[in-house]
């Protein structure tokens, strides 16, 4: 099978690693990719969010499947254009991608599907925002209605900061704060059926102990030894299945990765948000444990044939990924810091997230720069291996959290 993978982050490096290890994959292409992905795939410098450009490349390369990593190409309709051209695509069409593209739309789908989520108000003016903040009280949860690269959500006790975020966004969703631990569950969907991956937990705040502003994610681990063993089935029954049914009823079946971000509150589980693509960095931990060859599963989903795939097989144990970010992140990150990486090991390796080659030398090129992955018999061993290899990474301009893998 020939595959084109779209995207350039740590999530895509993890996807490329799994796809390259699948014996059914004869050629792996990536666009635009990064230097880590470039060791596994042929890189193509093209705009992954341009439907016409991606269709032309997929035809020229003769690929059997296009795997779409980030949300921007999905929202731009890249999956629709590929399907119209008769090319299998793993990722939802533009209308289904609105589940991530608009928080207000996602709330509407959840209401119609009976999926438990926080009570919310959609606000377009400062007056509406102020009224909603006062209705729900602190801590205030203000979400940009539109895509904001993981930085659209502000959770704060400071009413002025909440109002300022609402004013900077335009249309926002203000909602009730959900207590309890957060969980990410990914489901591979074929429009009708869904297969769950292992649940994971990510660390959204920039600093140890969940201090500081939200980021795209500073680390993750999987699975969740502390969670009820029935949690995945419960999420599939109460969240994923009714959402897929509602999307089908609306004539926009969901094909691709449905990511449910959930809070396990004192009143039961609640959806915090949906995303329509693999989560970053949870994917780096989850795929480290997947034993079933990935390409066949994604292709079956893209073709509406998930019934041909059995349950997924997983390694025993746990995986942890620790993100190294450039100083300044999630504000303006320090650019072009030099990086020297240790060799990968079986159970400890480095994924590239925002890197580039500069005259043959590896340098930082983004906010989140690297993800170091450790695997082990349990989360403690996985954590020790992830931090162990990270201690051998030379990246003076970078920083990382030191508490990834400690449940929170």
Contacting positions for ligand GLY (CB under 6 A): 150, 202, 217, 275, 279-280, 282
- Comparing CB distances to ligand GLY, the nearer of 51 and 150 is 150
Output the smallest distance, CB 303 to ligand GLY, in A: 26
Output the smallest distance, CB 280 to ligand GLY, in A: 4
- Comparing CB distances to ligand GLY, the nearer of 44 and 205 is 205
Structure tokens at 59: 């035809």
Q: Positive or negative, the Cα torsion across 45, 51, 54, 57?
A: negative
Q: Let me know: does 407 contact 320? Beta carbons within 8 Å.
A: no
Output the smallest distance, CB 263 to ligand GLY, in A: 14
- Comparing CB distances to ligand GLY, the nearer of 70 and 337 is 70
Structure tokens at 53: 């450009």
Partners of 352 in beta bridges: 370
Alpha carbon distance 227, 282 (integer Å)? 16
Structure tokens at 141: 């949860």
Tell me 209's DSSP state: G
**Residue with the CB atom nearest ligand GLY in the bound state:** 279
Output the smallest distance, CB 279 to ligand GLY, in A: 4
- Comparing CB distances to ligand GLY, the nearer of 275 and 324 is 275
- Comparing CB distances to ligand GLY, the nearer of 176 and 282 is 282
Output the smallest distance, CB 197 to ligand GLY, in A: 13
Angle at 56 between CA 53 and CA 60, to 5 degrees: 140
- Comparing CB distances to ligand GLY, the nearer of 22 and 145 is 145
At 63 the three-state DSSP class reads: coil
- Comparing CB distances to ligand GLY, the nearer of 12 and 282 is 282
Q: Which residue from 371, 326, 328 is spatially nearest to 351, judged by alpha carbons?
A: 371
Alpha carbon distance 390, 348 (integer Å)? 9
Q: Give the distance, in angstroms, between the CA of residue 339 and the centroid of all CA atoms in the same chain.
A: 25
Output the smallest distance, CB 217 to ligand GLY, in A: 4
Tell me 177's DSSP state: P
Q: Let me know: does 9 contact 69? Beta carbons within 8 Å.
A: yes
Q: Which residue from 67, 33, 46, 111 is spatially nearest to 287, judged by alpha carbons?
A: 67
Output the smallest distance, CB 275 to ligand GLY, in A: 5
Buried b (16+ CB within 10 A) or exposed e, 134-153: eebeeebbbbbbebeebebb
Output the smallest distance, CB 161 to ligand GLY, in A: 21
Output the smallest distance, CB 220 to ligand GLY, in A: 7
- Comparing CB distances to ligand GLY, the nearer of 193 and 277 is 277
Q: Which helix (H) or strand (E) element contains residue 221?
A: strand 219-222
How many other C-beta atoms lie within 10 A of the C-beta of residue 179? 12
Output the smallest distance, CB 128 to ligand GLY, in A: 26
Q: Positive or negative, the Cα torsion across 103, 108, 110, 111?
A: positive
- Comparing CB distances to ligand GLY, the nearer of 296 and 405 is 405
- Comparing CB distances to ligand GLY, the nearer of 12 and 202 is 202
In Å, how far are 103, 109, 210, 312 from 382, measured between CA atoms?
34, 38, 21, 21
């Amino acid at each position: 099978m020939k595959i084109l993978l779209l995207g350039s982050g740590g999530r895509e490096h993890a996807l490329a690693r799994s796809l390259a290890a699948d014996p059914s994959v004869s050629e792996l292409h990536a666009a635009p990719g990064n230097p880590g992905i470039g060791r596994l795939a042929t890189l193509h410098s093209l705009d992954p969010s341009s439907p016409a450009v991606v269709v032309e490349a997929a035809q020229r390369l003769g690929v059997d499947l296009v795997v779409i990593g980030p949300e921007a190409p999905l929202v731009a309709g890249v999956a629709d254009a590929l399907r119209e051209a008769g090319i299998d695509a793993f990722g939802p069409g533009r209308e289904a991608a609105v589940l991530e593209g608009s928080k207000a739309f996602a709330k509407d789908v959840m209401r119609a599907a009976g999926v438990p989520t926080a009570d919310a108000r959609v606000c377009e003016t400062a007056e509406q925002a102020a009224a909603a903040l006062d209705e729900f009280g602190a801590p205030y949860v203000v979400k940009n209605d539109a895509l904001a690269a993981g930085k659209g959500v502000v959770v704060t006790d400071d009413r002025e900061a909440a109002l300022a975020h609402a004013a900077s966004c335009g249309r926002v969703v203000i909602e009730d704060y959900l207590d309890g631990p957060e969980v990410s569950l990914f489901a591979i969907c074929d429009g009708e059926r869904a297969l769950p991956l292992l649940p994971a937990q990510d660390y959204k705040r920039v600093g140890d102990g969940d201090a500081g502003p939200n980021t795209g994610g500073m680390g993750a681990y999987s699975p969740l030894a502390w969670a009820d063993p029935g949690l995945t089935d419960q999420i599939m029954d109460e969240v994923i299945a009714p959402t897929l049914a509602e999307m089908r009823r609306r004539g926009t079946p969901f094909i691709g990765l449905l990511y449910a971000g959930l809070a396990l509150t004192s009143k039961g589980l609640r959806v915090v948000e949906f995303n329509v693509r693999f989560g970053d960095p949870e994917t780096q931990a989850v795929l480290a444990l997947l034993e079933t060859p990935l390409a066949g599963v994604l292709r079956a989903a893209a073709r509406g044939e998930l019934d041909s795939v059995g349950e997924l097989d997983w390694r025993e144990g746990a995986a942890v990924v620790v993100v190294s970010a450039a100083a300044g992140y999630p504000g303006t990150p320090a650019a072009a810091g030099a990086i020297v990486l240790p060799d990968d090991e079986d159970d400890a390796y480095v994924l590239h997230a925002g890197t580039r080659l500069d005259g043959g030398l590896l340098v930082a090129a983004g906010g989140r720069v690297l993800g170091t992955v450790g695997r082990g018999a349990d989360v403690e061993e996985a954590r020790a291996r992830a931090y162990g290899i990270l201690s051998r990474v030379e990246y003076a301009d970078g920083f990382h959290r030191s508490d990834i893998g400690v449940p929170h």
